[in-house]
Each structure stands twice: as structure tokens, then as C-alpha cells.
Amino acid sequence: MSAEYALEVLNPATEEVVATVPGATAADVDAAVVRATRAQAVWAALAPGDRARLLRRFATAVDEHLEELARLEVREAGHTLGNARWEAGNVRDLFDYAAGGVERLTGRQIPVPGGLDLTILEPLGVVAVIAPWNFPMPIAAWGTAPALAAGNAVLLKPAETTPLTALRLAELALDAGLPEGLFQVLPGHGPVAGTALVDHPGIAKIVFTGSTAVGKQVLARGSALLKRVTLELGGKSPNIVFADADLEAAAAAAPMAFLDNSGQDCCARTRILVQRTAYDRFLDLLAPAIESVLVGDPADENTQMGPLISRSQLERVRSYVDADAPGIRGKAPEGPGFWFPPTVLTEVDPRARVAVEEVFGPVAVVLPFEDEAEAVALANATDYGLAGSIWTRDVGRALRVSQAVRAGNLSVNSHSSVRYWTPFGGFKQSGIGRELGPDALTAFTETKNVFISTEGPAQ
Ligand code: NAD
């Protein structure tokens, strides 16, 4: 690890330095791959039940340190305490769930003439997980838990701004008895440690979560060695409100559907599409809901929204919002910290930057539509396809629109997107592949087909 590539971790709510962490170099990646390759051979040779037990022990260790991990996440990422507790609990649940898959990772027996045909699901070897800063713990675990459960070793590179919870998780994994070298955390810069992982011939798969621009680079570089790549990228998700919906419920749910995690959520419902006949009523209901969101100290139990992650993210968000643009504004603290108020823009051109690009901050636009066809066209008028919500009391419409919207994760009369036991991933430029859900382990295996002849030796 090199001081030259050191990472300074700031508390986004106060701008105080929380820690300085040495960053990994390409040589560190090389050494980590050697250790991981050795550990993977040991790990894959363990009895499935033993691997499952060790993963469950790790899940228990995470549970026992849930409050510590959550408080660390509050300090390094500015997440509200409630969210951070959920995130640490999500890591625990992911490892518990993945542990349940170890003994169930079965191949098939396929009927063939003259013999027996078997498929065997073999681990890939060493997998790299490159994580973003917006959900440092859960997203690290989305890749790591199923990869380990399927018999692989994992090298995790957290984002530059949020390495601390990842480092603590690696310590807990060792304490829980996972073999040395099996799960290593390599904090570092994307262009240094990240590219070294992507280019390394000893790494079989890259699980990348981050921006679409970097995801495309990872795919292009990884293709030189035909690496397996999973990409979870950006989003610009619609929240479609039909006039026949429960408007009170839709308006009450709309704020946190894009303000949760200060809008730094790939599934944030930042395009609120409202049927014209309900438009004025919906805005009347939405305004007080936005204005009453509690923005402030993320360590306070009552806070609903904290700061943005960094100054550069704050500048980026500001660049999308003119001070005099019409809309609804909430409140945010002043002084140190990277604060931006909840913002809903009205009277926006549907082709404007703020209406089509991922802002990754607490900013949404409201756009009116006339009928179902226009709602679907507007929902699909983006390069992204990650998530979306449909609010209606008409079951037929809910199903029609769910089928017509090109996105990986839709919810009806709700904004939920992520459960560790259901599949998650994007259409179009929101990604490639799926994570979570019942097939998560299979994504970390190669299928081998073996034919065994039952013909006797020629007489
Ligand atoms: P980012 O692309 O800048 O960075 C993500 C990770 O990639 C970081 O660890 C970074 O160090 C690393 N990286 C940067 N350059 C690299 C390179 N050239 N090679 C290899 N690795 C490199 O993204 P970010 O700003 O940290 O995260 C925000 C983005 O993540 C948003 O666009 C958001 O929508 C997306 N995201 C997507 C999902 C999803 O599941 N679809 C979930 C969370 C976040």
C-alpha cells in the first residue's frame, strides 16, 4: 500500500478528516492476486457445509458489530443513522442468504443416449468487486457474498471516499475464521488500483458498480482478456402517477423515493410523471411533503436526509439547478458540510439536462403526461433502464405499463427496488447482468458439461 496514493476520508456533514488510508498500487494488486489464488484453492476444497458455516459465522460477526459499522458509515458517507443500520443489517442478511446457497449449488443431469451427462458448476477463481461510494457496505456485499459462497476468492476495491467500512468488514471476516487472503480489501484510486484489477490476468470476473462512463471502460478493458463482467450502472428512474391512483399515498411516498441517501441512489425516482388531470392536485400535496423533510445531522435518529458525499458532488448537483428555476424547495443546513436542499423542478423541458441525466443528488423533475401511451413513451425516453414505479388503482394498467417500461426493477404503488432475495439489475445503459436473488451464486460459476459413456469396451 502506498502513501503516494493515500486516500483522505472526510466526514461529509462536517468536512473533518476522519482517516487517511494508504492506497493500493498495481504491485499491491499483483501480490493480492497471489494470496487470493492460494486461498481460493483451499476454500473451494472445503466441504460445502464448512464453507456455509464460516459464511454464517461472518454474518453473525457483522450482526454483533452492526452499530459500530453503522456509525462508521455515518461518519465516512454521511448516511443517516437509520439507513446505515439497515445497510449493515443488509450485509448480514446477504451473507446468511448466500450461505444457504452453498449446499444447494447443484448442476443437472441431462438425458443423452449411450451414457450419463452431468453439468458441474465450478467457481471462477478470483473475483474483483469494484464498489461505489453511495452504498459502500451493501454493494460490496452484493458481489462478495455470492462470490465467496460459490467457492471464489474476492478482492474488493471500495470507492476512494468510503474505504473504512470495507476494511472493517475484512477484519471481521478474518476474525470469523475465513481463510487469510480469501477476502481482501484494496482501497485505492480507480485509475490505479481499479484498472490494475480490470487488467489482471489472474482475475476471472469483475463486478463493477458505478457510473455508466466508467462501466463502459471496464467492459472495454476487460474484453481484452474476455473477462466475465457484471455492470450495475446509473439510472434516471420514472415515478409514474396516474390520475386514478391514491394521490395522497403517491405524493406522500414521492419525496423519499428520490431523497433517500440524499438522492445518491441509482434507483432514485427522479422523473415524476403525473397525468395532467391530476397534476395540480398532486403538486399541492407534494409541496408540504417536500418542505417538511428533515435534513441535517445524519447521526441524529430523526434525520431523514443527510449531506452529499463530497464537494465535487455538491458542485455537480448545483450545476443542474438554476437558483430561480420554478419548483419546490426544502430546507438544508448552512455552514460546513456538503448540503443541498430537497428540490423538485416544474416547467422543465423533457429534453433538458436535468430531465435526462443522472444528477445523483436530491433533485427531481415533474413532467405532465396526457395518457398511458405518453406516460410509457416518457418513461422510456432515457438511455437508462434501472428502476421505476407505477401508481394506479387499475390492475390491468399496472400490468400493461410494467410490461411496457424498459427497466429491470419496477414497483406498483410502492417504490421498493432492492431485496437481497430478488434479482436486481438494469436494462439498456443501466448495466449488464443481474445480482441478488435466487441465481446470484450461479453468476460466479462456470458450467462444465461432462459426458460419461456407459458403453462397455468394444468386444
Ligand atoms: P464511479 O464510476 O466514479 O466509481 C465507481 C468505482 O469505480 C470506484 O470504486 C472507483 O474508484 C472505481 N473506478 C473509477 N475509475 C475506474 C477505472 N478506470 N477502472 C476501474 N475502476 C474505476 O462511480 P461513483 O461516482 O463512485 O458512483 C456513483 C455511480 O454509481 C452512479 O452513476 C450510480 O448510479 C451508480 N450506482 C449504480 C448502482 C446499481 O446497482 N446500478 C448502485 C449504486 C450506484
% of residues, the chain, pLDDT over 90: 97
Q: How many whole angstroms separate alpha carbon 169 and alpha carbon 446?
A: 27
In this structure, which residue's CA is closest to atom 20 in ligand 1?
Answer: 194
Q: Over 90: is that where the pLDDT of 4 sits?
A: no
For residue 85, give the 3-state DSSP assignment.
helix
Q: How many whole angstroms separate alpha carbon 343 and alpha carbon 321?
A: 9
Residue 413 Cα to ligand 1 middle (Å): 30
In this structure, which residue's CA is closest to atom 40 in ligand 1?
Answer: 232
Q: Over 90: is that where the pLDDT of 2 sits?
A: no
Q: How many whole angstroms separate alpha carbon 30 and alpha carbon 129?
A: 15
β-bridge mates for residue 305, sequence order:
295
In the chain, domain spans: 2-233+430-450, 238-412
Name the pTM for this structure. 0.96
Q: Over 80: is that where the pLDDT of 13 sits?
A: yes
Residue 266 Cα to ligand 1 middle (Å): 10
Q: How many whole angstroms separate alpha carbon 353 and alpha carbon 375?
A: 19
In this structure, which residue's CA is closest to atom 15 in ligand 1?
Answer: 190
User: pLDDT band for position 118 (50/70/90)?
Assistant: very high
Q: How many whole angstroms separate alpha carbon 35 and alpha carbon 56?
A: 23
Closest CA to 244 of 139, 377, 77, 392: 392
> Mean per-residue pLDDT for 161-186?
98
Which residue intervals of 46-163 are DSSP H helices? 48-64, 66-77, 81-99, 136-149
Q: Which three cell numbers stand for residue 191?
A: 485509475
E-strand spans in 228-375?
A: 228-232, 238-241, 271-275, 327-329, 343-345, 363-369
pLDDT digits (tens, 9 = 90+) for 15-63: 999 999 999 999 999 999 999 999 999 999 999 999 999 999 999 999 9
Environment class of 45 (CB within 10 Å of its CB; exposed 0-12, middle 13-18, buried 19+): exposed
Q: Over 80: is that where the pLDDT of 458 sits?
A: no
What are the DSSP calls for 398-423, one per residue?
Answer: HHHHHHHS--SEEEESS-----TTS-
Query: Hey, what CATH class is 2-233+430-450 in?
Result: alpha beta
Taken in order 119, 123, 128, 134, the sign of the CA dihedral is positive
Conformational region of residue 335, where left means phi above 0, alpha means psi within -120 to 50, and beta covers everything else:
left
- pLDDT score at 317: 98
Residue 35 Cα to ligand 1 middle (Å): 26
- pLDDT score at 459: 63
pLDDT digits (tens, 9 = 90+) for 351-379: 999 999 999 999 999 999 999 999 999 99
Average pLDDT over the chain reads 97
Q: Over 90: is that where the pLDDT of 254 sits?
A: yes
> Mean per-residue pLDDT for 165-186?
98
Closest CA to 201 of 144, 128, 123, 142: 128
Residue 133 Cα to ligand 1 middle (Å): 8
In this structure, which residue's CA is closest to atom 42 in ligand 1?
Answer: 266
| Cβ-contact 103, 52 below 8 angstroms | yes
Query: Hey, what CATH class is 238-412 in?
Result: alpha beta
The label of the residue with cell 431523497 reads: 259
Name the residue of 21, 207, 209 whose CB sits within 8 Å of the most ligand 1 atoms, as the mutation to test its pocket.
Answer: 209
pLDDT digits (tens, 9 = 90+) for 212-248: 999 999 999 999 999 999 999 999 999 999 999 999 9
Q: Which residues are catalytic?
A: 232, 266
pLDDT digits (tens, 9 = 90+) for 271-305: 999 999 999 999 999 999 999 999 999 999 999 99
